[in-house]
């Protein structure tokens, strides 16, 4: 008797996880000049303030990256 495989196509969906028990969305800012990164926060105001303080201490640092960590989940269509 030879082994046999059964294959089937399934449809999956990927979407932001908005369930009450999902991890929170967090924000951080990173200086593109020296790579320094703000603390991560659930409130964007904290990383924004860090970027403004950082550019105040380093007047030639004008470029920043926003880092957003958003929970996602997949689910299979029945």
N-to-C CA span, the chain: 32
Can you tell me the distance from the alpha carbon of 42 to that of 9, in angstroms, rounded to the nearest whole number?
38
The proportion of the chain whose per-residue pLDDT surpasses 70, expressed as a percent, equals 99
Q: Is the pTM of this model over 0.75?
A: yes
Q: Is the pLDDT of residue 30 over 80?
A: yes
What pLDDT, on a 0 to 100 scale, did the predictor assign at position 31? Answer: 98
The string of pLDDT tens digits covering residues 36-66 is 999 999 999 999 999 999 999 999 999 999 9
**CB-based burial, 41-74: b 16+ in 10 Å, e otherwise:** beeeeebbebbeebbeeeeebeebeeeeeeeeee
Q: Which helix (H) or strand (E) holds 26?
A: strand 26-31
What pLDDT, on a 0 to 100 scale, did the predictor assign at position 60? Answer: 97
8 or 65, greater pLDDT: 65
């Amino acid at each position: 008797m030879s082994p046999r495989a059964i294959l089937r196509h399934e449809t999956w969906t990927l979407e932001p996880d908005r369930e009450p028990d999902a991890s929170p969305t967090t924000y951080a800012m990173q200086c593109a000049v020296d790579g320094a990164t703000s603390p991560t926060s659930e409130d964007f105001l904290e990383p924004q303030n860090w970027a403004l303080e950082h550019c105040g201490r380093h007047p030639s640092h004008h470029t920043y990256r926003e880092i957003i960590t958003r929970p996602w989940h997949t689910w299979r269509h029945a």
